Structure 1
Amino acid sequence: MDINEPQHHQSTQSVILTQNVNKAEGKLQRLSERKIKLRWILAISCLPLFGIYTAFGIAPQTLTTNIATTMVVEELALPDLEQPLNDEVSLVEKFWYKDHVRRDDTLQSILARLNVRNRDALEFIRSDNTASEIARAIIPGRQIKSETDADGNLYQLEYQISSDKFLTITKTDDGYEAYQDDRILEVRPVLKSAKINSSLFGATDSANIPDHIAIQLADIFESEINFHTDLRRGDRFNVIYEGSYDQGELVKSGDVLAAEFVNNGKIYRAVGFRDSNNQMQYYTPEGKSMHKSFLRSPLEFSRVSSGFSAARFHPVLQRMRAHKGVDFAAPTGTRIKASADGVVDFVGTKGGYGNVIVLKHTNGVSTVYGHLSRFAPELRRGAKVTQGQMIGFVGMSGVATGPHLHYEFLINGKHQDPMKVALPKTNIIQNGNRAQFEVTSNQMTAQLRLLGTSNIAALE
């Protein structure tokens, strides 16, 4: 029984394999028949295409042989050359160099960076009455460019003397010539955005915004934002200001046209509008004046080192004493501005104030500026001053431990905290200008919103 079982399994497997082979052969035969049928169907369906191709192939080419052609001969007048071509003239490879005047530049250092090395050009720039204006007008930030060859021979030099005046030096057959010309600059708005990481000037420097635009921003928003204490990391601002261009190059920045400042989550907006005297005044988009009759700070930009207090420990006297003003820390020589229109009531030296100025304003208001290093030229008692006018310079005269401005604000002889006292606003929009202001406001506000919602960091 055990011996016969293997033989039985072998017989069964043989039968199964035979059946599988027969089934496979049947499938192959049926697939072959299907392929033959598909080939015939494809061949029949392609017959019309071959017929079309054959028709095009055997169509007689009779259309092109019957087209009439005509030859037209026309004489073209060539322009006359101003100078005849000379085979002996060789082409000189020239290069343009462009730079800006740096703070420590001299005429020699500027020309060296511009690859101006030939002696006759250097002598002409030093001796010619017109060309020598470059040496007398070396101002940091001004643009200058030159065209020279590889050996440093000057062919053309252009220097920006002022915002719209340029001096040009050109090589001629007889040497060099120099002339000045006034450029008609193209004025268009510049749109910039920046974020506060450390300071206002740090943010404007990172965004390539001029310092005087930063100062304007501080002046515009100073009645709403205390730039000495209120700035926060993450604050941001958008600004639109005038840009004057010469051949696509920005050569001058003007007034701020509109600005938006986000301080500690609160949004402040200002729109510029020129008054009847063509002076730029700033308002909220709704038309409320941003300008107040008194500046919050007499300095362009500084920090409060000591605030208003009824009892403060005096660092020099070493005892408690009321501090009836605000101290602004600033380097010696920093310019001090009149906080409002007024008349000089006192200018001179007075006790612990050292060199001091007292201004009288309207409505019983007086302001005091102490510890000055010196006064503005020709400042005298009875002289009229205007808001923002420079009246003196920061120092440490009198009783002071370091250079700073001591500033007091008095109403009818009583001291008030200059940083908290309510400041009245001025510059109301006249009814006749209201419609024009609304058009300007809507346009500027729309652009500020575009800057605030886009990822555009700068648009010049």
Structure 2
Amino acid sequence: MQKQRNNPRLLGAMGKHFPRTHALAAGAASFALALTLFVSTPEVEAKRTSLEVSLTLPEEAVQQIQEEATAAAIDAPQSVMEGLRVVQETVRNGDTLSDLFQRAGISSAEMYQLLSSGKEAKQLAKLVPGEELTFQIDGEGSLQTLELHRDRLSKVEFSRNSSDEYKYALHQREAERYTAFREAKIESSLFVDGTKAGLSNNLIMEMADIFGSDIDFALDIRKGDRFSVIFDEKFLDGEKIGNGAIQAVTFTNQGKTFSAVRYTDSNGDTNYYTPDGKSMRKAFIRTPVDIGRISSHFNPRRLHPIFKTRRPHNGTDYAAPRGTPVYSAGDGRVIKAGYSKANGNYVFIQHGERYITRYLHLNKRKVKRGQRVKQRQVIGTVGATGYATGPHLHYEFLVDGHHRNPATIVRKLPKAKAIAKSEMARFQTQTQPLIAQLERFEQPALAQNAEEKDSVN
């Protein structure tokens, strides 16, 4: 029996079936046991080796080794201690839950039992590529637990109980949040200089959204414009995992500075406002695309590029890459969505009683006739369908049935409601510290900008 216990082949085979932590725990336990026997019977060991051995080891050291071995065994993953097999799978493009169960070696019957365990299990039918699943399976091939890792902050767990039923549990962690500040001067473009300043594409798009009613980012941006922004950075276990929302931001465009601050009112609704409580959100945004340039302006006497005749150009053309998202300029209802030889794929939206916006030459439509839409909801993507010489969006704005210049009409339309008087004290308590913090961050940058101007003069 002693030979079999110390057989190297047997130990090697055991190592293949146990994780490293368990191998270390078992090794430590074996070493502690052997050492205890060795210390407690030195005479027997000396006779066996025909050597006179005198070995003394403090009892405290022996006790410490034994305690560490016991602790290592206790800390070992429960799944292995109970004889469970652990399989981890990552959701790939095109994967179904059946594919994942098959790769894990679990029968379809087990899968259907889990799916029928309750309404919470239905979410397993909607998996996203990149999500991770951890299966724990017993020796008979029965699923004991399934963990779905939606992201690093949330985990869904289904565990089989003694009644052979699955129990649902949601585990969530809170990320640590830290305030971050970025500022930049526009030298090339908003995206290029924003990226150099350390902003993600999502934050740049969010900033463009905040000022979308005041600044036309396809037409108004100039070299020398500046922005400063405060936002949250999210960390988990010392590692950055993402960004939170913009808290306060300023943008200086052609010498005029716009400021906005994020506020959640007493009803739980969150929006952006000027420091004095006016809404940043107008009834309509300035441009229905974030990326692009104006390739053709509103012009009642334009020479048509295809037919070479004088035909009114009743809208604004935004040249942009095919597939660029197109947003609804305001809240409304889709009154037409279809295809025609001239317009290609198109969407018409009614906003209240007086206003209609039109979107032509779309690559794809994302909405249907009769559908209600919100401001900045994606209604389609830029394309070159119909009479179009290249990928672009043709955008029209009608007031009481008459075409108006989309680039200028929005400035004349009313904004959304400002902060109510009853809410103003609460608004100031929340937002004034953010404005003060942004001003403190901006002071060094403003001082440097002033020095640059003085040196030039």
Structure 2 residue aligned with 1:312: 302
1:414, CA displacement in angstroms? Answer: 0.3
Q: Distance in 1 between matches of 2:326 and 2:209?
A: 14
The 1:82–1:287 alpha-carbon spacing in structure 2 relative to 1, beyond 3 Å, is: farther
Corresponding position of 2:151: 162
Residue aligned with 1:433, SS: helix
Q: Is the 8 A contact 1:369 1:407 kept in 2?
A: yes
Which SS does the other structure have where 2:174 is aligned? coil
2:362 matches 1:365: no
Aligned to 1:138: 130
Aligned to 1:415: 403
Give the Cα–Cα distance (whole angstroms) in 2 for the partners of residues 243 and 278 of structure 1. Answer: 22
Tell me, in whole angstroms, the C-alpha distance in 2 between the residues paired with 1:197 and 1:205.
Answer: 12
Find the aligned partners of 2:188 and 2:386 in 1 and give their Cα distance: 33
Deviations 1:29-49 (A, max 9, x none): xxxxxxxxxxxxxxxxxxxxx
What amino acid is the match of 1:346?
K
SS at match of 1:402: coil
Residues 281-430 of structure 1: pairs in structure 2 closer than 5 A: 281-376=271-366, 379-421=367-409, 422-430=412-420
- Structure 2 counterparts to residues 28-427 of structure 1, below 5 A: 81=64, 83-84=66-67, 127=104, 137-138=129-130, 162=151, 164-165=153-154, 182-276=172-266, 278-376=268-366, 379-421=367-409, 422-427=412-417
TM-score, normalization by structure 1: 0.61
Q: Deviations over 1:44-64 (max 9, x none)?
A: xxxxxxxxxxxxxxxxxxxxx
Summarize deviations over 1:383-430 as a string: whole Å, max 9, x none: 211111111121111110001111000001000011101221003212
CA distance in 1, matches of 2:281, 2:128: 39
- Preserved CA contact (<8 Å) 2:221 2:253: yes
Contact 1:357 1:368 survives alignment (8 Å): yes
Q: Distance in 1 between matches of 2:296 and 2:203?
A: 28
Structure 1 residue 453: Cα displacement: 1.1
Contact 2:291 2:324 in 1 (8 A): no
**Distance in 1 separating the partners of 2:272 and 2:368:** 32
The percentage of counterpart residues that share the same residue type is 37
Structure with more of its chain in helix, by fraction = 2
SS at match of 2:217: coil
Please give the alpha-carbon distance, in whole angstroms, between the structure 2 residues aligned to 1:255 and 1:278: 15
List runs of 5+ in structure 1 lacking aligned partners.
1-76, 90-106, 108-125, 130-134, 143-158, 168-178
Displacement after TM superposition at 1:234 (Å): 2.2
Q: CA deviation at 1:313?
A: 1.3
Going from structure 1 to structure 2, the CA distance change for 1:406 and 1:398 (only over 3 Å counts) comes to: same
Matched, 1:446 2:436: yes
Residues 83 and 225 (structure 1), Cα distance of their counterparts in 2 relative to 1, 3 Å cut = farther
Distance in structure 2 (CA, Å) of the matches to 1:396 and 1:273: 40
**Root mean square deviation, CA, Å:** 3.8
Mapped partners of 1:85, 1:217: distance in 2: 55
Deviations 1:76-134 (A, max 9, x none): x99x7584468xx9xxxxxxxxxxxxxxxxx8xxxxxxxxxxxxxxxxxx8599xxxxx
Per-residue CA deviation, residues 347-386 of structure 1 (Å, 9 max, x unaligned), is 112341111111111141001010112211xx32222111
Q: Distance in 1 between matches of 2:245 and 2:335?
A: 33
Corresponding residue pairs, total? 318
Distance 1:265 1:82, change over 3 A: farther
Structure whose alpha-carbon radius of gyration is higher: 1
Relative to structure 1, is the Cα distance of residues 282 and 411 closer, same or farther in structure 2, using a 3 angstrom cutoff? same
Structure 2 residues not aligned, in runs of 5+: 1-59, 73-89, 91-102, 107-126, 133-147, 157-168, 447-457
CA distance in 2 between counterparts of 1:429 and 1:188 reads: 28
Change (3 A) 1:299 1:322: same
- Measured in 1, the distance between the counterparts of 2:206 and 2:248 equals 11
1:455 is displaced (CA, Å) by: 5.0
SS of 1:419 mapped into structure 2: helix
How far apart are residue 440 of structure 1 and its match? Answer: 2.6
Q: Is the 8 A contact 1:343 1:361 kept in 2?
A: yes
CA contact (8 A) 2:384 2:391 kept: yes
Cα offset, 1:238, TM superposition: 0.7
For residues 185 and 83 of structure 1, the distance between their equivalents in structure 2, rounded to whole angstroms, comes to 38
Provide, for residues 236-287 of structure 1, a one-character-per-residue CA deviation record: whole Å limited to 9, x for no partner: 2111112222133321212111101122222211111123553421111111
Over 3 Å counting, the alpha-carbon distance change for 1:247 and 1:318 in structure 2 is same
CA contact (8 A) 1:137 1:161 kept: no
- Over 3 Å counting, the alpha-carbon distance change for 1:380 and 1:161 in structure 2 is closer
Match of 1:435 among 406, 409, 425: 425
8 Å contact from structure 2 (residues 275, 431) kept in 1: yes
Q: How many Å separate the matches in 2 of 1:318 and 1:196?
A: 38
Per the alignment, in what secondary structure is the counterpart of residue 190 of structure 1?
Answer: strand
- Letter paired with 1:213: L
| 1:255/1:280 contact within 8 Å kept | no
Specify whether residues 352 and 255 from structure 1 end up closer, same or farther in structure 2 by C-alpha distance, changes over 3 A only: same
Residue 160 (structure 1) shift: 8.3
